[in-house]
Amino acid sequence: MVQLTREHGRTTFRAGGASGVVRPRMLAVGLVLLVVVLVPFCYGMTIGSFPISFGGVVRALFGAGEPGAVYIVQELRLPRALAGLLAGLAFGMAGAIFQTVTRNPLASPDIVGVNAGAAALVVAGITFDFGSGTWLGVAGGIGAGLVVYVLSWRRGTTGYRFILVGVGVAAMCTSITDFLMTKAQVFEAQRAMGWLVGSLNDREWSQVQPLMVALVVCTPVAVVLGPWLRQLQLGDEVAVGLGTPVRFAHLTLLVTGVCLATFATAAAGPVLFVALVSPQIAQRLTGMAWPPMIVSGLTGSAVILTADVLTRHILPSAQLPVGVVTGALGAPVLLWLLTRR
């Protein structure tokens, strides 16, 4: 049974052993973002070289209608749309975790080397022909995250040291990627370049399914650890006073964030700036003191799906990577954040 109580202008709930504060503004923003996500998600499945009406898409999802339309929707457009939705959700949540743990709005997987590590190993697989699958990206991202954490550890880890070490690891991985690109054949280099920018083109179920599993596992973990995340935002000393196991909380939350970012990168490529800007947009929309995790994820999904629809309208025949639009939109936001600090 859920019990609601209003005291001092705030509404709280209690359900069994769980309790919390009801934030109407955050709920309203979340519902609006859910609609904003669904609009490009549904619209994206209707456009392409073979236009299909919304009713035709719905029928095709259930296996009805023309066989050609069923194949296009179920095997081509639905994996693409789900890859964008789930990758945005994972990137946004990972960015919120990184920025809250480090207490720095510039901390995100694409800044601290996680995405660069995934990219380096995937490009190596393409160049030397030992594979280019999802698991190479996952291994590269987790490996880079582990290196950053170990090198930044000094009886604990601090935000500024974690970011500085991450920037160094990102630069190293980017240099490796650039070197590999010079050694690759023309076809391999083109294939790698399309992936490096971040693209939803030609997504398959084999690329989407691991990301779905990662979100099913990591999202409940992140939600359960939410109280620790909010306490860490107050500072390590205050968090210790509140009974938070700071070192274990840092490790668990960063591992969760790294896993979300690496699986998203493996599915959609290192889509630029989504993990950086989504938490900041969500924080300002909700008026919270920290980036709200689920709202950040919905913001990330809205950014990627909207960017994908824009790329398909700007140059429909060129199959423009979605990372081109997110990079063009994210760079001014990054400059704005830098000038504010």
Which CATH number covers residue 222? 1.10.3470.10
In a domain? residue 2: no
In a domain? residue 41: no
Domain that holds residue 198: 96-270
Backbone angles phi, psi at 203, to 5 degrees: -70, 145
| Number of structural domains in the chain | 1
Q: Helix or strand or coil: residue 139?
A: helix
In a domain? residue 25: no
Average pLDDT score over residue span 38-44: 94
In a domain? residue 310: no
Angle, CA 93 vertex, CA 88 and CA 97 arms, to 5°:
150
In a domain? residue 212: yes
Q: What is the pTM of this model?
A: 0.90
Which pair of structure tokens corresponds to residue 143? 């490996």
Q: Which pLDDT score is estimated for 14?
A: 56
Q: What is the DSSP string of 282-316?
A: HHHHHT-SS--HHHHHHHHHHHHHHHHHHHHHHST
Average pLDDT score over residue span 238-251: 82
In a domain? residue 54: no
Distance between CA 154 and CA 39 in Å, rounded?
47
Q: Which pLDDT score is estimated for 16?
A: 53
In a domain? residue 73: no
Higher pLDDT, 211 or 18: 211
In a domain? residue 111: yes
Q: Which residues of 332-341 are buried (b: 16+ CB within 10 A; e: fewer)?
A: eebeeeeeee
Distance between CA 319 and CA 97 in Å, rounded?
32
Give the up-direction half-sphere exposure of residue 282: CA atoms within 13 A in the CB hemisphere: 36
Higher pLDDT, 88 or 337: 88
Q: How do residues 273-310 score in pLDDT, each as one tens digit?
A: 899 999 989 998 888 888 899 999 999 999 999 999 98
